[in-house]
Amino acid sequence: MKHTLCAWRHPSRPPFAALRLALALIAGIVLASQAEPALADTGYKHYAPAIAKEFPPGYTTCPDCQSKLDKLNHGIAELNDFDQKHPAFRDVYDAMNDTKAAEKALDDLKKEPKPKGPAGKKYDEDVKKAEKDLAAAKAKEKATGEALKKGGPNGTPPPDNSDIYQLRHDLDEYLSQIKTWSDALRECLPRCKEKTKGE
């Protein structure tokens, strides 16, 4: 008796179709994961995330608002250029903001009158925690500032001998410019809709 071996086939799907589909899905996921960091790593995305989400790179508008978008894009280009020249300043800036937030939290807490009784004990605990948080924030700010001067592991990013507070001032100027022109663009956008309705 002869035995015939044959490959089993799914009645509705050709051979290897499922494998090809899986490979295509994997390739799509890989490409997507490779494309996203390029956007996420810009100074614009890091320092002005809310505005970057509202007016992402490549944003277009009507002719009436184009001049405001051009000025916004100019500010974004300057911010991204700053970020490329001082990549390690991201950590310093974030640490500075954390320190400011911790200082404000402690100041706000101390402005409140201390309650009497058991609530007073809770108040003292909250103050101690806020003081501890502030000390930790200041320590992190100092560490990131020193890292900026020394450079990262194996010399990357390179040491940045710029004055930290001057860098903060410059960055705040770029962010103020971006906020000004994003506000102007936002206020202008209704004109685009009105003009479209009129046509």
Q: Tokens 């501890």, residue?
A: 132
| Least confident window among 6-20, 66-80, 145-159, 174-188 | 6-20
d(CA 88, CA 68): 31
Confidence class of residue 82 from pLDDT cuts 50, 70 and 90? very high
| Least confident window among 54-58, 98-102, 113-117 | 113-117
* Domain residue limits, the chain: 47-86+162-199, 90-160
Kindly tell me if the per-residue pLDDT of 181 is higher than 70: yes
Q: What is the pLDDT of residues 19-31, one digit of tens each?
A: 555 555 554 444 4
86-107 residues labelled b (16+ CB within 10 A) or e (exposed): bbbbbbbbebbebbeebeebbe
Write 137-143 long-range contacts (CB < 8 A, 24+). Answer: 137/95, 137/98, 137/99, 137/101, 137/102, 138/99, 138/102, 140/95, 140/98, 140/99, 141/92, 141/95, 141/96, 141/98, 141/99, 143/95
Token reading at 42: 């810009």
Q: What number is the average pLDDT over the span 69-94? A: 94
- Percent of the chain predicted with pLDDT > 90: 53
User: What pTM did the predictor assign?
Assistant: 0.68
- Count of C-beta atoms within a 10 Å radius of residue 177: 17
Residue 75's nearest CA partner among 179, 169, 165, 184 is 179
- Percent of the chain predicted with pLDDT > 70: 74
Q: What number is the average pLDDT over the span 130-143? A: 94
d(CA 93, CA 86): 11
155-172 residues labelled b (16+ CB within 10 A) or e (exposed): eeeeebeeebeebeebbe
Token reading at 18: 């499922």
Output the pLDDT for position 25: 54
**Amino acid symbol at 153:** P
